[in-house]
Chains A and B, each alone.
Chain A
Amino acid sequence: MALVGLGGSLFWIIESTTWDEVDTELTGVAQAITSTIHPPRRSSGGRRPPPPTPIPRTYRRRIDNGELYYLIWDRDQNIVEKVNTEQKFVYPKDRESIQTDTPFKIQKEIEREIIIRGPRARLILVGRNIEKEKKALDQLKFNIISIGVGILTLGLLGGWWISRRVTRPIDSMSQTAEEISGFQFDQRIETKTAGPELARLGKVLNAAFDRLEQALHQQTQFTADASHELRTPLSVILTQVESSLKRVRTEEEYQQTLEACQRAALRMNALVNDLLMLARSDVKQLQLQKQEVDLKELILEVLQLLEPLIQEKNAKIDFDSDSLRIEIDPKRFLQVLTNLVQNALIHNPEGLSIKIYLTQLESSAKITVSDDGVGIPDEERSKIFDRFQRVDQARNRKTGGSGLGLAITKSIVEAHGGEIACLPHAPKGTTFEVSVPSIKNNTE
Chain B
Amino acid sequence: MRILIVEDEPDLIDALSRTLREEGYAVDTAEDGEEGLYKAKTWDYDAILLDIMLPKLDGLGLLEELRKSKATPVLLLTARDTVDDRVQGLDSGADDYLVKPFELSELLARLRALIRRSTGTASPQINIGEVTIDTASKSILKEGEEVNLTAREYALVEMLALNRGKLVTRTTLYEHLFDENEDSLSNLMDVYVSNVRKKLGKDFITTKRGQGYLISV
- Chain A residues near B (Cβ < 8 Å): 224, 227-229, 231-232, 234-240, 242-244, 246-247, 256-257, 260, 263-264, 392-395, 397
Contacts of A394 in B (CB 8 A): 8, 32, 53-56
B8, B18, B22, B101: which contacts A238 (Cβ < 8 A)? B101
Q: Which residues of A contact B55 (CB under 8 A)?
A: 392-395, 397
B183 contacts A by Cβ under 8 Å:
no
Q: Mark B116-148, 1 if CB is under 8 A from A, else 0.
A: 000000000000000000000000000000000
Inter-chain CB contacts under 8 Å: number = 79
Distance of A260 Cα from B13 Cα, bound (Å): 11
The answer to whether the Cβ of B203 comes within 8 Å of any Cβ in the partner chain is: no
> B78-90, CB under 8 A of A: which get 1 and which 0?
0111100000000
Cβ B54 vs Cβ A243 within 8 A = no
Q: Check B9 against A238 for contact (C-beta < 8 Å).
A: no
A244 to B55 Cα, complex, angstroms: 28
Q: Please determine whether B15 and A260 come into contact, CB atoms closer than 8 angstroms.
A: yes
Apart from A231-B99, A236-B12, A242-B105, what are 5 other A-B pairs with CB-CB below 8 Å?
A228-B79, A231-B101, A240-B12, A243-B15, A263-B11
Contact, CB under 8 Å: A231 / B9: no
Residues of A within 8 A of B79 (CB): 227-229, 231-232, 235
| Interface flag for B16 (CB, 8 Å) | yes
Given A224-B82, A231-B79, A394-B8, check contact A236 B15 (CB 8 Å): yes
- Complex partner residue of A246 from B19, B100, B102, CB under 8 angstroms: B19
B46-80 interface with A by 8 A CB criterion: 53-56, 58, 79-80
A256-B53 in contact given A224-B82, A234-B101, A235-B101 (Cβ < 8 Å) = no
Output the nearest chain B residue to A244 by Cβ-Cβ distance. B15
- Whether A256 lies near B14 (C-beta < 8 A) is yes
Question: Given A232-B100, A393-B55, A394-B53: A240 and B11 within 8 A (CB)?
Answer: yes
Name A235's contact: one of B19, B58, B80, B102 (CB within 8 Å): B102
The answer to whether B151 has its CB under 8 Å from any CB of chain A is no
- Nearest first, the 5 A-B pairs at minimum CB distance are A235-B101, A394-B55, A231-B79, A235-B100, A260-B11
Q: Would A238 and B19 be within 8 Å (CB), given that A224-B80, A228-B79, A393-B53 are in contact?
A: no
The complex places the Cα of A316 from the Cα of B102 at a distance, in Å, of 45
Complex interface: chain B residues within 8 A of A227 (CB): 79, 81
Which residue from chain A places its CB closest to the CB of B99 in the assembled complex? A231
A-B contact pairs, 21 of them (CB 8 A): A231-B99, A234-B101, A236-B9, A236-B11, A236-B12, A236-B15, A238-B102, A239-B16, A239-B19, A240-B11, A240-B15, A242-B19, A246-B19, A257-B15, A260-B14, A263-B11, A394-B32, A394-B54, A394-B55, A394-B56, A397-B8
Kindly state the separation between the CA atoms of A228 and B52 in the bound complex, as whole angstroms: 12
Nearest chain-B residue to A257 (Cβ)? B15
CB atoms of B22 and A247 under 8 A apart = yes
Q: How far is the CA of A215 from the CA of B19 in the complex (A)?
A: 43
Binding site for A on B (CB under 8 A): 8-9, 11-12, 14-16, 18-19, 22, 32, 53-56, 58, 79-82, 99-105
Q: Is the CB of B8 within 8 A of A239?
A: no
Which of these, B11, B32, B58, contacts A264 with CB under 8 Å?
B11
Instruction: Give CA–CA (A235, B9) in the complex, Å.
Output: 10
Q: How far is the CA of A232 from the CA of B8 in the complex (A)?
A: 10
Output the nearest chain B residue to A239 by Cβ-Cβ distance.
Answer: B15
CA of A395 to CA of B81 in the docked complex: distance in angstroms? 22
Bound form: Cα–Cα A264–B100 in Å: 14
CB neighbours of A393 from chain B (8 A): 53-55, 58
What's the Cα separation between A239 and B104 when bound, in Å? Answer: 6
Cα A256 to Cα B99 in complex, Å, equals 25
Q: What's the minimum C-beta distance from A162 to chain B, rounded to whole angstroms? A: 47
Residues of A within 8 Å of B82, CB to CB, are 224
**CA A393 to CA B105, docked complex, whole Å:** 29
Give chain A residues whose Cβ lies under 8 Å from the Cβ of B32. 394
| Residues from chain B with Cβ under 8 Å of A392 in the complex | 55
Residues of B within 8 A of A231 (CB): 79, 99-101
Task: Look across to chain A and name the residue whose beta carbon is closest to the beta carbon of B102.
Answer: A235
**Distance of A234 Cα from B79 Cα, bound (Å):** 10
B101 near A246 with CB under 8 A, answer no
- Give the docked Cα–Cα distance between A209 and B62 (Å): 38
Q: State which of B14, B54, B56, B105 has its C-beta within 8 Å of the C-beta of A240.
A: B14
Q: How far is the CA of A227 from the CA of B82 in the complex (A)?
A: 11
Closest to B105 in A: A242
How far, in angstroms, from A395 to B131 measured CA to CA in the complex? 51
A228 touches B9 (CB 8 A): no
Contacts of A243 in B (CB 8 A): 15-16, 18-19, 104
Which residue of chain A has the shortest Cβ distance to B56 in the bound complex?
A394
Contact A238 B14 (CB under 8 A): no
- Chain B's nearest CB lies how many Å from the CB of A381? 21
Bound CA span A259–B131, Å: 44
The docked-state distance in angstroms from the alpha carbon of A236 to that of B81 is: 17
Collect the chain A residues with CB atoms within 8 Å of residue B104's CB.
Answer: 239, 242-243, 246
